[in-house]
Amino acid sequence: MRKKTTNGLADVIDRNITTLLEVRRQLEKQKNVVTRVADAITGFCGSFPFVYLHIVWFSIWILWNTGLLGLTPFDSFPFGLLTTTVSLEAIFLSMFVLISQNRMTELADQRADLDLQVNLLSEYEITKVLQIADAIADHLGIEVGKDPELEELKIQVSPGRMLQEMEKMKQKTS
């Protein structure tokens, strides 16, 4: 029987959640200043306040420089200074987004590696369980049938060989 924690989840789920949160906290702690700044800027730039700020900024700029606010224009139409400023902002924002994306890709690769390791371990364990169950059935004289699929499932999978086959199939289809 599963043990349940105070939150109603099994202990193993509770431990996994705690572990994942701790890993995320450690990764956050390991970020350098540049990465923290890039993430903060990217986070703000991907928000509605950033959009609203730009709507207000562009509106005031255009109204000011078309003379509709009664102020002396400093960047008359076609707003060359505004265009230059927005272009520079776009260049810097794209760099910050790329920095953040590179870090996220690194984290995604780590998670994919972990997923692969867990899946390979699970496949190995399931194969062993099938082999043991089949040996127990043989020992007890239980005829479970000669299912060819079951015999295939009891064979250990070689991840390297599987990747080679996948690559061959991919090349054939493309």
The pLDDT tens digits of the residues spanning 46-63 come to 999 999 999 999 999 999
The closest of 110, 123, 114 to 159, measured between CA atoms, is: 123
Q: How many CB atoms lie within 10 A of CB 100?
A: 19
The pLDDT > 90 percentage for the chain reads: 36
User: Which pLDDT score, from 0 to 100, does residue 16 have?
Assistant: 82
Judged against a pLDDT cut of 60, whether residue 2 lies above it is answered with: no
150/152 Cα distance (integer angstroms): 5
- Model pLDDT for residues 53-93, shown as the tens digit of each residue: 999 999 999 999 999 999 999 999 999 999 999 999 999 99
Angle, CA 123 vertex, CA 146 and CA 111 arms, to 5°: 160
Classify burial at 30, counting beta carbons within 10 Å of its beta carbon; exposed 0-12, middle 13-18, buried 19 or more.
exposed
- Residue 163's identity, in one-letter code, is L
171: tokens are 């090349």
Decide: 41 and 48 in contact? Cβ < 8 Å.
no
The closest of 104, 99, 90 to 38, measured between CA atoms, is: 99
Q: What is the pTM of this model?
A: 0.61
- Residue 44's identity, in one-letter code, is F
User: Which pLDDT score, from 0 to 100, does residue 3 have?
Assistant: 56
Decide: 59 and 51 in contact? Cβ < 8 Å.
no
The residues spanned by each domain of the chain are: 31-173
